[in-house]
A and B are shown apart, each in its own frame.
Chain A
Amino acid sequence: MNDMRIVERLVETQGNKISARAVQVHYGTSHAIKDVDVDILDKTVTAFIGPSGCGKSTFLRCLNRMNDTIAACKVTGKITLDGEDIYDARVDPVQLRAKVGMVFQKPNPFPKSIYDNVAYGPKIHGLTRSKAELDEIVESCLRKAALWNEVKDRLTAPGTGLSGGQQQRLCIARAIATSPEVLLMDEPCSALDPIATAQVEELIDELRDQFSVVIVTHSMQQAARVSQRTAFFHLGNLVEYGETGQIFTNPRDPRTESYISGRIG
């Protein structure tokens, strides 16, 4: 618990990275996100927890406008990144997504080689000037995603030929290769074994130095381990949002309490 207090003090010093106000999401007639207000802090790991279908992924996808690709999805309310409204007509979602990266719930490697999967982002954004530089980025990202040792001898093999957990880590490497300011991770460890999970959590902790990270997870322990802030969603509502230590030790809302102790799920 002592550690937790140190972390808490660090958090206080961070400013807001993303602010969401009165966000509503409709899929056609169904109301998936109801009036959510959230402030995501800079250089902080924020965990989204909540029962299946409560809208965690949906809300996460609002933050980098990935919901634009779903025709039936309507987002209202205001979300700002560094004070700028990301749903403003002048904002280019392409540039927004270069700043707000995402790892999806289901691994979706491209049907390209492992190397090309990771190099894809740096290439399209022109982040490197030489092949050597690109090689370096690919290697360091694969190392950070705890995949390097498994794939270093077959970088030209197709990424789709990896196991599910390896694909998940490949997608993590792909997402961090563009050095986003915010990284949205939708259950990044759902297909990973305990060792790889620990490595990814270590990575998340490391990323906190430069980025802010939002992670969706179904594991209370993971949320408690890696995050400084936790948001609990239930049936499309943001029930409680606060410091992770407080949410897990002293929740204010009875629904949070029962979810954490395993009574609703």
Chain B
Amino acid sequence: MSVSLLLLAIALLALIGFGLARRRALSSAGGNPRELHSLPGYYGWHGALMTALPALAGLLIWLLVQPVLIERSVSAHFPADMIAADSSLALTMADVRRVAGGIDVALTAGAMKTDDAGRITTDLAQVRDTLKAVGVALGSDVTTEVLAAAQDYRRLAALGATGRALLVLVLAIAGMALAIRATDKDFRARNRVEQVTLGALMLSSSIAILTTLGIIASMLTETFHFFEAYPIADFFFGLTWSPNFKGDSQLGILPLIWGTLYISLVSMLVAVPLGLFAAIYLAEYASARARAWIKPLIELIAGIPTVVFGLFALVTVGPFLRDYIASPMGWGDSGSSVMTAGLVIGILNIPFISSLSDDIINAVPQSLRDGSLAIGATKSETVRQVVLPAALPGIMGAVLMAASRAIGETMIVSMGAGAAARLDLNPFEAMTTITVKIVSQLTGDTDFGSPETLVAFALGMTLFVITLGLNILALAIVRKYREQYE
């Protein structure tokens, strides 16, 4: 039985479990649903869940364990020194699977007879030709060992499939039987079903957290490797960033942090006022018609890929700022600059701030506006003194999201601000950010053990800590504000 067929069987059994459990519950209450502890549907769901969940869990475990076991037993066909060398064994095992799969394909295509398939152990050339005829190309020459291993593999896999089907069906039926036996009118089916729902909810939230933890863990180990090869103090306090793959690099993070914060600051100076004003216009002043047009148009900006924004920065904004502002004022003649990247990232972030803030402002109850207007406050006084303070915690969240995006932005920076790490106050100078350097240290022909590459992980870790700190700070601000007002 194939896996999809098994899943179908589980679904069917679950359906039967649903019906049976529900029927039994109703009949135990003499057909009167009011006698039941829970609604009849809950008994049904309990039956279905008890049928499906253990079976699915069993199937999952089997699918994870079987390949490992088969591989171990099949690898007995190969010499011991080959097993010792990990990578060559992996390559050979890939061949084994290909041959085994090829034979299966040939069987279903009718190019081979079932009896032949079991017997072919010697005629290697014939095997190659047959498999080629059904569209399975084999890379290296098929050796006798590989062929024997493939035969073994097929045998074990078939055995595994039978065992798997048996186990899953037994689990499903046993689960169903247990559920039906437990079902009677006093059984608390709703509580059990809700427990499962709660479990599912918790699982969903923990998957995101576990992934984050996994990312941190993998970054941390590489970061430690980096600090074994490069002094930690030089990294955090070095004022020069000049990696050199021939050795003798200076990997000070300060110019990169400076560039990151500087560009983010410029972008937030653009995005926060414009986004907030746009949101206030949309939420408080625009007519319903105007709002229905303007809001989607602003949100359109968010759908443009950042690389297009990068092009805009490179081709239009950068040269414009250089030719009309920086050069005439004598502030430098660089086409790529903090200003260019900051402006363009700021524009990119306007819809984030405006759209979220607009929703938040709209959620402020009308009765508060009425209260203020009835005292004789003007519309703008009402907005400034009542609506915005009430919406502030939510607006902070929107601003924070935009800030995180600005800090993490890569494409626009590398096209708009360049790739030169520099510590400079002049916003018309080219600078660069942490994310750009992470990319440039990891791309190209690099030796994965050298500090010049590993530094990328330390940079990533630092970036992570910076954003985390920012989030915590914003949370603290919001909480303080809440205590004051709510």
Instruction: Say if A and B assemble together.
Output: yes
**Chain A residues within 8 Å of B, Cβ to Cβ:** 64, 66, 69, 71, 94-99, 101-102, 104, 106, 108-113, 120-121, 124-125, 158, 160-161, 171, 174-175, 178
Distance between Cα atoms of A169 and B468 in the complex (Å):
44
Q: Nearest Cβ distance between residue B417 and chain A, in whole angstroms? A: 41
Q: Name the one of A71, A104, A124 contacting B376, with C-beta atoms under 8 angstroms.
A: A124
B366 lies within 8 A of A69 (CB)? yes
Q: Nearest Cβ distance between residue B12 and chain A, in whole angstroms? A: 53
- A64 proximity list for chain B (CB < 8 A): 374
**Chain B residues within 8 Å of A, Cβ to Cβ:** 288, 365-378, 381, 385-386, 389-390, 484-486
Q: How many residue pairs, one in A and one in B, have C-beta atoms under 8 Å apart?
A: 76
Q: Name the one of B368, B376, B389, B484 contacting A97, with C-beta atoms under 8 angstroms.
A: B376
A104 lies within 8 A of B367 (CB)? yes
Contact A178:B390 (CB < 8 A) given known A69-B370, A158-B484, A160-B486 = no
Distance between Cα atoms of A120 and B376 in the complex (Å):
10
Distance between Cα atoms of A124 and B390 in the complex (Å):
18
| 27 pairs, CB–CB < 8 Å, chain A vs chain B | A69-B366, A71-B288, A94-B373, A95-B376, A97-B374, A98-B375, A99-B376, A101-B374, A104-B371, A108-B365, A108-B367, A108-B368, A108-B371, A110-B372, A110-B386, A111-B485, A120-B372, A120-B377, A121-B377, A124-B381, A124-B385, A158-B486, A160-B486, A161-B486, A171-B371, A174-B371, A178-B376
- B370 proximity list for chain A (CB < 8 A): 66, 69, 104, 108
> Quick one: which of A96, A102, A110, A120 has the most chain B CB within 10 A?
A110
Contact A124:B377 (CB < 8 A) given known A111-B389, A112-B389, A161-B486 = yes
- B371 proximity list for chain A (CB < 8 A): 104, 108-110, 171, 174
Q: Nearest Cβ distance between residue B115 and chain A, in whole angstroms? A: 82
A94 lies within 8 A of B376 (CB)? yes
> Quick one: which of A66, A99, A102 has the most chain B CB within 10 A?
A102
B376 lies within 8 A of A121 (CB)? yes
Distance between Cα atoms of A148 and B484 in the complex (Å):
20
Distance between Cα atoms of A120 and B381 in the complex (Å):
10
Closest to A158 in B: B485
Given contacts A110-B368, A124-B381, A174-B371, 7 further A-B contacts (CB under 8 A): A66-B370, A108-B365, A108-B370, A111-B368, A111-B389, A111-B390, A124-B375
B373 lies within 8 A of A69 (CB)? yes
Q: Nearest Cβ distance between residue A97 and chain B, in whole angstroms? A: 4
Distance between Cα atoms of A97 and B372 in the complex (Å):
10
- A97 proximity list for chain B (CB < 8 A): 373-376
